Amino acid sequence: MPRKRTSVHYALSWREPNSHLFDVAIRFTAARQDPELSLPAWRPGRYLIQNYAANVRQWEASDSRGRVLPIQKVGKSRWRVEAAAGTKIVVRYRFFAGTLDAGSSFLDEREAYFNGSNLFMMVVDRRNEPADLLLQVPEGWDVETQLPRAGGAAADGSELRLARDYDHLIDSPTIIAPDLRTHIFEEAGAHIYLVFQNADGIDTRQFVEPARTIVASQAALFGGLPLDEYRLLFHVGNVWHGVEHEDSSSIILRRADLLGARPGEEGFDHTLAITSHELFHLWNVKRIMPQRFRPYDYSVETPTRLLWVMEGITSYYGEGTLVRSGLWTRERYLRHLAREISTLESSPGREHLSLAQASLDSWLQEPAQMHDKANSWISFYNKGEIVGVLLDLQIREMTGGRKSLDDVMQALWKKYGSGKSGIPEDGFEAAVRRIAGDGIEPFFRKYVDGTEPLPYEELFATAGVELRRLPAAAEPGLQLSVRAVSERLFVESVVQGGAAARAGLLPADEIVALADIRVTTQSELKTALRGLAGTRHLDILIARGGQLRTLHAEPAPYQSVEISMVIAADADAGQRGRLESWLGNPS
């Protein structure tokens, strides 16, 4: 079938890579008088306003004869070209790409990497029309992207890539580099590409078979893969970070954790977990999508109470896939789950912020805006995963083991996977009701829309798993977190109800001294507190607002709880059967 004729033509090039400036050109015919262009203010997968227009500079416009056309910025992320309808227009601008993470764009002498949501303006009246992208490719460099190629490379090395529409264009992360390391295998009728950039010293081949296992397991859940090719684009860097896309994922792996890593070690396991998480998004959020995201409005916040489903349920299936497929033992999975529960139970915000509300308020979680985030926020990834586990166990218990959360996800895929419609705000609960019955309603009222304590012991016991709460050893302290900057020590957060909070410390206060002992690092703070053990009243010299102040604290031990989870030695046959149904055969 011949491809549709493209109506918007993008070109990406660069002059001096270490300037970190991409050159973007957009060619189109004006569909109306004074056409407008806009750049997204946020990107799918990161539910926070990012304002990518802040990195755009030196914009200009001309017609097909090279005559200058007036172009004016008319909003924070919007431009208008003064031209008559039917005019052939070229808009050019430069974009600073100096940050490397899974959702950013980055340019230097070793690679050109971009996410189109940062970079490419949309011709406002042409969003749904086919587009193409001409890429400058230096000699000896390769391109990896989900965008299909139109023919081979040109004589000058450039490549033309095709996009179904604007949304497809900006949802296609791309790496152009000379030293890409690629492994390809076929699974579930699709070609899977594992692409590694900056992987010197890393044994990348050891991830191929585990990735195959992950793909096979998740494809089996949904009855196959809805594509012919899928790319896992890995950068080896200094953080862990992943972003999902329609037919690919962009993932940052932490080099320090991967050097010499072998199966069972933290860096190896984390790589499998983030890979599994991002792959599951192929179904959940990229195709099974909230109604409020159809279509995306890239210009403003788009709140939904379903982010815990999109991210938390995905986290559950991310690590869940590893244990069910035999890549992890049950004991390894339960250690992971215990750590997640410990994180949630140590979050003061769990007592007043519901999971649904945290999802809706995702757009407010920027620390510069949420001044007491440590005490007011919970992660919908973290609690969403835990609630997903408990919901699965609840469905299994209510249906006598005949149904599970798998049935819910399969039903959502069947109903919404075509992309023609999205899940309404009450659609996930409605889907669970159809599987488990109306008796599931209290679960959502208490644990999704409410803040009641989660029923760990009750539901884990159904699968023969014991959750143990052990008091963690605690020395008298201030209950705060700090950061050191140039031999100065600043408060990052204080624990609600802790000694520092009662004394009046605030985030951004500089701690100068404890009882006349100068402190400039976290280790010095700990040493001073240890040396002052037994002191009931402690003077803290701080700097706030350009003034020195002395606050008075009463150090006290902070009783945290350490969670462990084990398979009960006395689990009966029914519990063992439910455990096997939940986590798979032991390995």
The pairing of beta strand 465-471 with beta strand 190-197: unpaired
C-alpha–C-alpha distance, residues 100 and 237, integer Å: 8
- State the pTM of this model: 0.94
Report the C-alpha gap between 236 and 251 in whole angstroms.
9
Question: Where does 8-177 sit in CATH, by number?
Answer: 2.60.40.3650
pLDDT for 371 equals 77
CATH topology match: 8-177 vs 307-471+563-583:
no
At 241, the amino acid letter reads H
In this prediction, residue 188 carries a pLDDT of 97
Whether 299 and 41 have beta carbons less than 8 Å apart is answered as yes
The predicted pLDDT at position 476 comes to 72
* pLDDT in the model for residue 1: 38
Q: Is the dihedral of CA 287, 241, 389, 334 positive or negative?
A: positive
Residue spans of the domains in the chain: they are 8-177, 181-282, 307-471+563-583, 476-557
Tokens of 491: 């408060």
Cα-Cα end-to-end distance for the chain: 48
Q: Which CATH superfamily is domain 181-282 in?
A: Neutral Protease Domain 2 (1.10.390.10)
Looking at residue 394, what is its pLDDT? Answer: 98
Residue 331 token pair: 């004991």
Answer yes or no: are the C-beta atoms of 281 and 275 closer than 8 Å: no
Strands of the sheet containing 36-38, edge to edge, are 71-75, 78-81, 36-38, 122-123
Instruction: Select the CATH number that applies to the domain covering 307-471+563-583 from these four: 3.40.50.2000, 1.10.10.10, 3.40.50.300, 1.10.390.10.
Output: 1.10.390.10
Per-residue pLDDT of the chain (587 residues; tens, 9 = 90+): 345 688 999 999 999 999 999 999 999 999 999 999 999 999 999 999 999 999 999 999 999 999 999 999 999 999 999 999 999 999 999 999 999 999 999 999 999 999 999 999 999 999 999 999 999 999 999 999 999 999 877 878 899 999 999 999 999 999 999 999 999 999 999 999 999 999 999 999 999 999 999 999 999 999 999 999 999 999 999 999 999 999 999 999 999 999 999 999 999 999 999 999 999 999 999 999 999 999 999 999 999 999 999 999 999 999 999 999 999 999 999 999 999 999 999 899 999 999 999 999 999 987 677 778 889 999 999 999 999 999 999 999 999 999 999 999 999 999 999 888 999 999 999 999 999 999 999 999 999 999 999 999 999 999 999 999 987 666 678 999 999 999 999 999 998 889 999 999 999 999 999 999 999 999 999 999 888 888 889 999 999 999 999 999 998 887 677 899 999 999 999 999 999 999 998 75
